[in-house]
């Protein structure tokens, strides 16, 4: 059995993890909201989109990132508060997957740096 200080430290880590994941959850919600807003009512963005039509595909990227952050933040919040090992394992697997994708993108960007 651990000491009282270990319990306080673990409790602090639990709530810090909840707070940071809640901020990720809010960021994902914001990106989802902006993406849906642009898709539903693009009148405010017509001048920007008219200048470069490729920017409209950026809306789908924003929606994808927002959905992923929303899910990641939700899993992290629920897993931290409930101390659910399954949710936390899924959360860390998603974090690992994102890290590996970023690593692969960085390696590809380095290899093909003349074309990027």
Tell the burial category of 31 from Cβ atoms under 10 Å away from its Cβ (0-12, 13-18, 19+). buried
| Residue range 60-73, pLDDT digits in tens | 888 998 999 999 99
Which pLDDT belongs to residue 9?
80
DSSP secondary structure letters along 36-95: HHHHH-GGGGHHHHHH-TTHHHHHHHHHHHHHHHHHHHHHHHHHHHHT-HHHHHHHHHHH
Which pLDDT belongs to residue 30?
93
Which pLDDT belongs to residue 38?
81
User: Which ranges of the chain have pLDDT less than 50?
Assistant: none
Which pLDDT belongs to residue 40?
82
């Amino acid at each position: 059995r651990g000491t009282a200080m270990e319990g306080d430290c673990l409790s602090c880590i639990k709530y810090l993890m909840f707070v940071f994941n809640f901020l990720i959850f809010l960021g994902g919600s914001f990106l989802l909201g902006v993406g849906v807003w642009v898709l539903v009512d693009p009148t405010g963005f017509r001048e920007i989109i008219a200048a470069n039509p490729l920017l409209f595909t950026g809306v789908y990227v924003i929606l994808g990132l927002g959905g992923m952050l929303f899910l990641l933040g939700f899993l992290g919040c629920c897993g931290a508060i409930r101390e659910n090992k399954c949710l936390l394992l899924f959360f860390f697997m998603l974090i690992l997957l994102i890290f590996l994708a970023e690593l692969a993108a960085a390696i590809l960007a380095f290899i093909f740096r003349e074309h990027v």
